[in-house]
């Protein structure tokens, strides 16, 4: 089992021109959205829905996901940005302390969930071919598949790491432990990529590597769990009559995904400044509980007022 432990010190992207880089994390988002589009196309064909409604749904989903995820992170984990660097809330640049392109360093899944619900409501207002609940019952299937790849992207980026562990599943996240300025200073190598590579490839740097603790790969725990969330949703949708129960798939998604999130939080390091930490539960766990309760309501209590054909 000891062999399951490993050091994680990868390239995080592909250099294109100058300092411009395509990050693997960004590619994972693209994979998530492209796969989601393909899944929804299959759903539309299965239910004889005009494909002309699919591309607008895709655009609404992408925008709602990204805006919701970003705003959720800032509100729940980094509210100081509203006063310290407000433009960085909606733009992928840092302005305070010097202009720098940094991408959106902080996206929250709770915010994404709220954003998607709002986005689907707005989409339904414009494209009135099915009920809002019909759309939510179907859109959660590709959302679950997308979550798998987003967490893989987090793992590649060495972010949303787990707590220190002595277990056989521990991973040493070198690039999370040393930032790019520290690694250049400690190795004496000016090229950041070569400096990071030297930590794991040069035996003379073994002391720097030994200082990095093993941690739970919390991102992989979530990603692996979300595979099963997706498979369960797809099975219920394609093989059971529950797909015809309005709100059931939406509720099942909320219960499964946020239950996973609740328990993974026990082995995850706090993200930013946790503004909630009551009764041994952190912000992520407290934010997950309402989603689970809402999911149970839609699974077992909710009755639509009218049946939409």
Output the known binding site.
151
**How close are the terminal C-alpha atoms of the chain, in Å?**
55
3-class secondary structure, 298? helix
- Cα separation, 224 vs 246, in Å, equals 28
Nearest to 115 by CA among 87, 169, 86, 75: 75
- Cα separation, 85 vs 72, in Å, equals 16
Cβ neighbours of residue 44 closer than 8 Å, sequence gap 6 or more: 50, 51, 53, 54
Contact predicate 112/71, CB 8 Å: no
Cβ neighbours of residue 80 closer than 8 Å, sequence gap 6 or more: 273
Residue entry with tokens 């709100």:
247
- Cα separation, 232 vs 219, in Å, equals 20
Cβ neighbours of residue 64 closer than 8 Å, sequence gap 6 or more: 115, 116, 118, 119, 120, 122
Residue 121 φ/ψ region, left for φ over 0, alpha for ψ in the -120 to 50 degree band, beta for the rest: alpha
């Amino acid at each position: 089992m000891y062999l399951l432990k490993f050091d994680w010190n990868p390239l995080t992207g592909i250099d294109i021109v100058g300092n411009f880089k395509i990050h693997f994390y960004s590619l994972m988002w693209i994979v998530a959205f492209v796969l989601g589009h393909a899944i929804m196309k299959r759903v539309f064909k299965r239910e004889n829905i005009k494909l002309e409604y699919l591309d607008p749904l895709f655009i609404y989903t992408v925008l709602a996901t990204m805006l919701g995820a970003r705003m959720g992170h800032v509100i729940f984990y980094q509210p100081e940005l509203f006063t310290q660097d407000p433009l960085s809330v909606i733009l992928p640049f840092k302005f305070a302390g010097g202009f720098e392109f940094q991408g959106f360093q902080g996206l929250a899944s709770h915010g994404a969930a709220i954003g998607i619900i709002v986005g689907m409501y707005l989409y339904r207002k414009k494209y009135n071919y099915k009920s809002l609940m019909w759309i939510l019952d179907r859109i959660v299937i590709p959302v679950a598949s997308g979550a798998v790849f987003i967490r893989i992207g987090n793992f590649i980026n060495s972010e949303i790491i787990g707590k220190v562990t002595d277990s056989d599943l521990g991973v040493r996240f070198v690039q999370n432990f040393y930032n790019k300025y520290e690694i250049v200073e400690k190795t004496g190598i000016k090229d950041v990529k070569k400096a990071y590579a030297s930590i794991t490839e040069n035996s003379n740097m073994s002391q720097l590597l030994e200082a990095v603790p093993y941690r739970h790969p919390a991102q992989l725990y979530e990603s692996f769990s979300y595979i099963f969330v997706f498979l369960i949703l797809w099975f219920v949708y394609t093989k059971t009559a529950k797909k015809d129960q309005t709100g059931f798939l939406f509720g099942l998604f909320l219960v499964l995904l946020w239950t996973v999130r609740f328990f993974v939080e026990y082995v995850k390091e706090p993200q930013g400044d946790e503004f909630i930490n009551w009764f041994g539960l952190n912000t992520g766990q407290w934010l997950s509980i309402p989603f689970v309760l809402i999911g149970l309501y839609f699974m077992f209590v909710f009755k639509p007022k009218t049946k939409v054909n």
